[in-house]
Amino acid sequence: MIECKNLVKIYKNGDVETMALKGVSFHIEEGEFVAIIGPSGSGKSTLMHILGALDSPTSGEYFLDGQEVSKLNDDELSEIRKNKIGFVFQAFNLLPRATVLRNVMLPLLYTGTSQQEREEQAIKCLRYAGMEESKFHNRSNQLSGGQMQRVAIARALINNPSIILADEPTGNLDTKTSHVVMQAFQELHRKGHTIILITHEQEIAEFARRIISVRDGVIEKDAINEKYHA
């Protein structure tokens, strides 16, 4: 599903060059649950931006579903983001005064589907993400942090993406709520979804089946997580 070959990313600021990625290579199969972990400045955020088609590498190749994403233009990258990647962010990125249903339906607004179809699909995704039905018509600013992240997960699923890319999804949550949200990701993995988790916390990474450790722009370790329980 995903293949990265010798990814290099160099940022330029005047005459100063910073190499954020130094020839990173790995592959991720369909249905895997992978955590990419590293400290601040390790290159994990740069890698996340490339995997999410939010940025392109300076050199190297990135293939998603057989398509070479690293060579696409901005419009083509936008299509990849819209159709193949479901994003879950630390800050939830929900409309605070919109209902739970409306927040999940938003990505379908300009797809030509009817209001009824959008609502049916949103309800299906919310149930899939484990959201309580009694909250479907609440505004998102009336929800707890864990509930908001479940809504964000449902929204990420609405376009049936190839992968779910979760960037520090527990960063704004307490420990107990973080574990509940990560258990929701594990349940999605059990149902066959491909999940890539970006985190700096070892405890959160250990919810994934495989852990890729990044430091100073290179992969330090890539191993199956022996503590994982499906």
Kindly report the number of other CB atoms within 10 A of residue 124's CB atom: 14
Q: Is the distance from CB of 220 to CB of 47 less than 8 angstroms? A: no
Three-state DSSP at 225 gives: coil
Q: Are 153 and 129 in contact (CB under 8 A)?
A: yes
Q: How high is the pLDDT of residue 52? A: 94
Query: Is the predicted pLDDT of residue 141 greater than 70, yes or no?
Result: yes
Domain 2-224 is of which CATH architecture? 3-Layer(aba) Sandwich (3.40)
- Helices vs strands, H then E, count in the chain: 7, 10
- Residue 215's DSSP bridge partners are 218
Tell me what pLDDT residue 109 has.
Answer: 81
Q: Mean pLDDT for the chain?
A: 92
Structure tokens at 99: 């209902």
20-34, pLDDT tens digit by residue? 999 999 999 999 999
pLDDT tens digits, one per residue of 63-75: 999 999 988 999 9
State pLDDT tens for residues 174-211. 999 999 999 999 999 998 999 999 999 999 999 999 99
Tell me how far apart the alpha carbons of residues 34 and 14 are, in angstroms, rounded to a whole number: 36
- 172 confidence band (pLDDT: 50, 70, 90): confident
* Predicted pLDDT of residue 218: 97
| pLDDT at residue 230 tops 70 | no
> Is the model's pLDDT at 110 over the cut of 80?
no
What is the widest separation between alpha-carbon atoms in the chain? 57
